[in-house]
Amino acid sequence: MQMHPFGTSFYNSIHRRLCHSLQRSEFYSTIFLCFCSNLRVHCKSLKMKKNLTLSYLLVLLACSESTFTNAQTSSSTGLKDYYKKYFPIGVSVMPSNLKGDEAELILQQFNSLTPENSMKMAPIHPEESRYYWNDADSIVAFAQRNGLKLRGHTLCWHNQTPGWLFKDSAGNAVTKEVLLQRLKDHITTVVSRYKGKIYAWDVVNEAISDKPDEYLRPSLWYQICGEEYIAKAFEYAHAADPGAVLFYNDYNEINATKREKIYKLVKGLKDAGVHIGGVGLQGHWAINEPSKEQLDSTLKKFADLGVKIQFTELDISVYPKEHNARERKPQDADTAFSAEKENKQIEEYKMCFELFRKYRNVVSGVTFWNVSDRHSWLDNFPVRGRKDHPLLFDRDLKPKKVFWEVVKF
């Protein structure tokens, strides 16, 4: 039996390093083995064989590690490509994101868009007789032009809702009948405009109360219309575009008490024959939550409903989770993206995507909330002006270490 010039363990060690550096590429591993084999055949002396083989190994290893370093700073394979057999990977956008380097990153990495603010009620319908379409239209046009899927967000919410909806000309609260008619007019107008261009809508957003002993949020929608406004919103949306997948969307879904209330609402709508096709779990998480048990039990719970699940607003803050806005404290001055914060974020993202893949039969989309760490809504929540780093791309739009862990499966 012919012996390797440096012993089997030497070659195996170098081979493992090469394969790791090249992200386990079978193509490069094969080239490596073939060249080593050829060198052993053609070298006439053991000394030449050692020198040439060693020289080649060192050159190839240096090239492979350089290739991997370059790949880590500029991935031509996007998130959407790694997950093409699983689910679409989306991102929330404003019109300003759709030009320059951010637009390039979006097209490289994502295959689905969600308007961050442009389709919410106040921005798109500021006055009863006036709609503002420019921003929403620009996002729809970008998606259409580039073959991207598009989610609509959101048709009915207690926040970013124009005050005129709830008042008559005298400034008094409108009746239930008037408010439902205004809701119908709004939903019909907006959904009809984008029929066939938006494949899914967040119809009702955050209707569940955060208080443990309270079921529905006591919003003006609820105070005037009662619970009926929720089913009516789905009815109006389905009538305007029967082909769209309609979602109920909410946050803090990993909390067991709130999870049960969200489940109760969605199941009740489904049992009543309301056209609801999915539940949107926002996924505004942090380095200390959710636990694997929390997320797994949440996914299992909603999978049993027989509707699709989408993670609609995903980000993972590098600070411990806080649910309410607060004033700045001295310790908030430390906004450095330390190795400790990075490692905790990596572990949390890895765990989340492992479970997303586990439930691939019911998870039909994952959308990140904002494009990169260059800008995040978490820069101003819960503490205004405290820089966060919650996404997979840094402020220079380069993949962070966490990116490579999310796509390594």
**DSSP-assigned letters across all residues of 145-211:** HHT-EEEEEEEEESSS--GGGGB-TTSPBPPHHHHHHHHHHHHHHHHHHTTTT--EEEEEE--B-SS
H/E stretch holding 312? strand 308-317
Burial class (CB in 10 A: 0-12, 13-18, 19+), 376: buried
User: What is the average per-residue pLDDT within 140-153?
Assistant: 98
Band (pLDDT 50/70/90 cuts) for residue 403 is very high
Q: Is the model's pLDDT at 98 over the cut of 60? A: yes
Burial class (CB in 10 A: 0-12, 13-18, 19+), 133: middle
Q: How far is residue 207's CA from residue 217's CA, in Å, rounded to a whole number?
A: 5
Determine the residue type at 164.
W
pLDDT above 90 coverage of the chain, percent: 81
Q: Is the model's pLDDT at 173 over the cut of 70? A: yes
pTM value is 0.84
Find out whether 49 and 2 touch, Cβ atoms under 8 Å: no
User: Catalytic residues, which ones?
Assistant: 206, 313
Band (pLDDT 50/70/90 cuts) for residue 76 is confident
Please state which of the ranges 35-39, 226-230, 279-283 shows the lowest mean pLDDT: 35-39
What is the CA angle 184-190-196, rounded to 5?
A: 120
Find out whether 343 and 398 touch, Cβ atoms under 8 Å: no
In the block, residue with structure tokens 């796509």: 407
Three-state secondary structure call for residue 133: coil
User: What is the average per-residue pLDDT within 151-171?
Assistant: 97
User: What is the average per-residue pLDDT within 24-30?
Assistant: 39
Q: How far is residue 106's CA from residue 86's CA, in Å, rounded to a whole number?
A: 19
Residues 6+ apart with CB under 8 A from 97: 103, 106, 371
Strand 89-93 and strand 363-368: pairing? parallel
Three-state secondary structure call for residue 102: helix
pLDDT above 70 coverage of the chain, percent: 82
Q: Is the model's pLDDT at 71 over the cut of 70? A: no
Q: Is the model's pLDDT at 177 over the cut of 60? A: yes
User: Residues 224-252: pLDDT tens digits?
Assistant: 999 999 999 999 999 999 999 999 999 99
Closest CA to 78 of 395, 352, 392: 392
Q: How far is residue 111's CA from residue 84's CA, in Å, rounded to a whole number?
A: 9
Q: Is the model's pLDDT at 65 over the cut of 70? A: no
Q: How far is residue 53's CA from residue 119's CA, in Å, rounded to a whole number?
A: 62
The pair of three-digit structure tokens given for residue 279, joined into one six-digit string: 């539940």
